[in-house]
Structure 1
Amino acid sequence: MTAPLDLIAAERARQVEKFGHSPEADRALPIRHLPLEAQRYLTQAIEDLHFRREGWEQHAIRKLAQAGALICAAIDRIEAEQQPGDPI
């Protein structure tokens, strides 16, 4: 079993390496894009958890890792835009 944070980190690395979704590329997107994509993956995971179709476990884990990676990217994006001294 792989630790959940390791899965999320590996997925984020895959997004950057395979698709070029670097922090710089993320900043070129509308700010709502990353959370909306994360929501899409979460919705797919919720359907897997609800309907439990064949192979649901691995599919749900993959979708949750993708959502987690996008949430991390969104946080990075917001933090990159903060000014020094801004409250969190």
Structure 2
Amino acid sequence: MTQPVVADNKPMKVSLTAGESYMFCACGRSDSQPFCDGSHKGTGITPQKLTPEESGDAALCCCKHTSNAPYCDGTHKRFGAEDIGAEAP
């Protein structure tokens, strides 16, 4: 299986609506970060469905290596600008 690409080395703040379904990009290749645009096809990585119970802002992971997907857990701090757009080691 392919490793996810580091889309960014910081999370993205998004406003989510309770009960609405979102597809979180898990591969890092989407041009619609942090959401899926279908770029994962052929990677073996699938997006993650997110349906929040409450409306509000959330920090979604863009490094794609969080242990709390789709939410940021601070893992992005180990990636620098040179890692953006590349598969992480």
Taking structure 1 as the reference length, the TM-score comes to 0.24
Taking structure 2 as the reference length, the TM-score comes to 0.24
Q: Report which of the two structures shows the higher radius of gyration computed on alpha carbons.
A: 1
Whichever structure has more strand as a proportion of its residues is 2
